[in-house]
């Protein structure tokens, strides 16, 4: 009896409690697995490709050129006096990071059901690895943005980085929080409602047009004021406008709107965590 009491177990299995419990301590213990997933996400992206990591910059560059041709050239949409490549690249940096986090996190349970059914590890490791690996890609694309920025500065364009650029880390965290929160929520719902998987890609595309990526907020205020409430209610609007205002000196900045986005992000994160924690207990019986 005394010997049994002195036994020390390496792993203790006990029932979980709390919908908002993240088990971050357990995630930290599995940090090697988290690093492995991050490395896998980056390596497999360009594995067996000719151009390799260059695809990280080719995709946003070609998208920017297409936006310049369609929206800047044919449609003639204003860019608030900014060079079109800089304007579109600034919006795409934020949008691409959010949309990729959302799309990939929303497929967490379906894409990893075979692994989840065979071995235990904190399920949160997978969506966290997606958010971090996408952040690394965004860092590479930000380097392209800086190169274009320096080019226009050298050609005499009046561009101004102001103090609000220091909000960039906060903006990045809010983008990560929104992408992760919505991704956890949708991934949890798709275990039961499979139709959501087919709506994600279409819905994300529509969402972009309700976000000031290809047009400045000033255009909507001048010509489509009746839709301003919809654009302002979009939590991504203040993030992208603040990014442009901080790095390009042009845009609309509001502490109130940024605070609204921060509160919205926290609510979505809590909602996503609650749903994710509830579904992960029994999703193998449903999926």
CB neighbours (10 Å) of residue 253? 16
The chain-wide mean pLDDT, for the chain, equals 83
Provide, rounded to the nearest whole percent, the portion of the chain with pLDDT above 70. 85
Reported pTM? 0.86
Structure tokens, 114: 């075979």
Mean pLDDT confidence for 126-152: 91
Packing angle, helices 125-154 and 55-67, rounded to 10: 60
CA 128, distance to chain mean position in Å, is 11
Mean pLDDT confidence for 241-257: 91
Above 90 in pLDDT, residue 239? yes
Mean pLDDT confidence for 260-283: 85
Above 80 in pLDDT, residue 121? no
pLDDT the model gives residue 267: 95
Structure tokens, 220: 């909507």
Q: What single-letter DSSP state applies at residue 208?
A: H
Between CA 219 and CA 101 the distance in angstroms is 28
pLDDT category of residue 122 using cuts at 50, 70 and 90? confident
Between CA 31 and CA 125 the distance in angstroms is 8
Provide, rounded to the nearest whole percent, the portion of the chain with pLDDT above 90. 35
**What tens digit of pLDDT does each residue of 197-227 get?**
777 878 888 899 889 999 888 887 777 777 7
Packing angle, helices 84-105 and 195-209, rounded to 10: 160
pLDDT the model gives residue 1: 47
Above 50 in pLDDT, residue 164? yes
**What tens digit of pLDDT does each residue of 36-82 get?**
888 888 877 667 666 667 778 888 899 999 999 999 888 888 888 88
């Amino acid at each position: 009896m005394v010997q049994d009491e002195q036994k020390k177990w390496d792993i203790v299995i006990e029932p979980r409690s709390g919908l908002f419990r993240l088990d971050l301590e357990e995630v930290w213990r599995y940090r090697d697995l988290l690093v492995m997933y991050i490395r896998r996400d980056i390596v497999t992206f360009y594995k067996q490709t000719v151009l390799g990591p260059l695809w990280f910059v080719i995709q946003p560059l070609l998208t920017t050129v297409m936006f310049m041709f369609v929206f800047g050239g044919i449609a003639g949409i204003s860019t608030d006096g900014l060079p079109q490549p800089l304007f579109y690249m600034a919006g795409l940096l934020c949008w691409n990071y959010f949309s990729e986090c959302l799309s990939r996190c929303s497929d967490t349970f379906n894409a990893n059901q075979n692994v989840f059914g065979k071995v235990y590890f904190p399920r949160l490791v997978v969506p966290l690895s997606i958010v971090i690996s996408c952040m690394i890609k965004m860092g590479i694309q930000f380097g392209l943005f800086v190169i274009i920025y320096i080019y226009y500065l050298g050609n005499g364009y009046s561009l101004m980085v102001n103090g609000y650029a220091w909000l960039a880390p906060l903006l990045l965290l809010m983008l990560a929080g929104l992408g992760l929160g919505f991704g956890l929520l949708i991934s949890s719902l798709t275990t039961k409602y499979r139709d959501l998987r087919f709506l994600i890609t279409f819905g994300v595309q529509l969402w972009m047009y309700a976000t000031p990526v290809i047009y400045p907020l000033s255009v909507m205020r001048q010509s489509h004021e009746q839709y301003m409430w919809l654009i302002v209610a979009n939590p991504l609007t203040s993030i992208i406008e603040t990014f442009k205002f901080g790095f390009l000196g042009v845009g609309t900045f509001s502490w109130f709107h940024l605070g609204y986005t921060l509160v919205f992000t926290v609510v979505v994160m809590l909602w996503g965590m609650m749903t994710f924690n509830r579904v992960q207990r029994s999703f193998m019986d449903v999926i």
